Structure 1
Amino acid sequence: MAEQENGAAEQQPQVKLNTLTQFVRDLSFENILAQKGGGGEVQPDVTVGVNLDAKKRAVEHQYEVSMKLNINSKNKGTGEALFILEMDYAGVFHIEGVPEDQMHPFLLIECPRMIFPYVRRIVSDVTRDGGFPPLNLENIDFMQLYRNELTRRQTEGKKPDA
């Protein structure tokens, strides 16, 4: 019995995940507070939007995963915009051993986990360099984000066409 279990374990392919490169595709930061000449006491209210995308590249076993962030900060008291940060950050990965039916969730959960620390650092640096306290993004639960998107798509698919 133990020999059969060992044989089954040997047959499962070993998952290989290598980050080949990472890069900022697009980055925009607007310090609206400075443009308006504002200042004084502000209580920031920050909203973060995350959009993920993945695609197969021409080279075998290579995939590109992009994380698009849209960060808006407003003053809680007045509702006036303080800053807007938009970034498209991508990673290129070499992936082997992941079954085809598990590739989509793997690309949109595991790969973003790999690049997120770099995204967090860039956001912190850009907001600090832009004249605000550094914005340290909280960890993102990419598994929950993936599940939410699946649920949204299923709900959308069930809606009758108007």
Structure 2
Amino acid sequence: MAEHEQQPTERQFSVQRVYAKDVSFEAPNAPEIFRGEWKPKHDLNLTTKINHLDEHLYEVVLSVTVSAMVGEKTAFIVEVQQAGIFSLNGFSEAELGPMLGAYCPTLLFPYAREVVSDLVVKGSFPQLVLQHVNFDALFAQHQQQALEQSQAGGVTPSQH
């Protein structure tokens, strides 16, 4: 009986809800931007925010911002906050970080990619399909940067 009581809680993960939290599309230089040659330079920015809602309930918000420049002019800016509510039970503190910081954003990204693509097309621009993002690698990179900063005492090196 004592052996049974010492077994760790079984890990349980479920997606409670996936939703668009905030969506924005701007084409500040339309209609002039449509008259020139279409050779845009795209910039992608990703951030993740985690909100602890309840004992085992978390909201993860993946923010995706895509801007397209043609020369010096902004063709469009798309901002999407794709969110999900996730239930995680039985995970250690060490496991929660990768689950919330990498696994959940990986689940949310296809939804955000679809919203970005739809908005760009509805803005009368050629379809834009974002490439897959390796959130595991981004999370590991973020953890490494945080470790380096803590080892350096949070002091940034002086520039010469």
Residue in structure 2 matched with residue 86 of structure 1 by the alignment? 79
Residue in structure 2 matched with residue 42 of structure 1 by the alignment? 38
Verify: 1:105 aligned to 2:98, yes or no: yes
Unaligned runs of 5+ in 1: 1-6
Verify: 1:63 aligned to 2:53, yes or no: no
Provide the TM-score with structure 2 as the length reference: 0.83
Question: Partner of 2:72: helix, strand, or coil?
Answer: coil
Letter in 2 for 1:100: E
Deviation at 1:13, TM superposition (A): 4.2
Which piece of structure 1 moves more, 33-42 or 79-88? 33-42
Counterparts in 2 of 1:21-40, with a 5 A limit?
21-36=17-32, 38-40=34-36
Give aligned-pair identity as a percent: 27
1:79/1:67 CA distance change after superposition, 3 Å: same
Deviation at 1:124, TM superposition (A): 0.9
1:160/1:83 CA distance change after superposition, 3 Å: same
Letter in 2 for 1:103: L
Deviation at 1:134, TM superposition (A): 1.8
Question: Partner of 2:139: helix, strand, or coil?
Answer: helix
Residue in structure 2 matched with residue 150 of structure 1 by the alignment? 143
Residue in structure 1 matched with residue 131 of structure 2 by the alignment? 138
Mapped to 1, the partners of 2:9 and 2:107 lie a distance apart of 21
1:104-142 alpha-carbon deviations (Å, 9 max, x no partner): 221111111111111111111111111111211111100
Residue in structure 2 matched with residue 160 of structure 1 by the alignment? 155
Mapped to 2, the partners of 1:38 and 1:45 lie a distance apart of 15
2:80/2:115 contact within 8 Å kept: no
Unaligned runs of 5+ in 2: none
- Alpha-carbon RMSD across the aligned residues, in angstroms, is 2.3
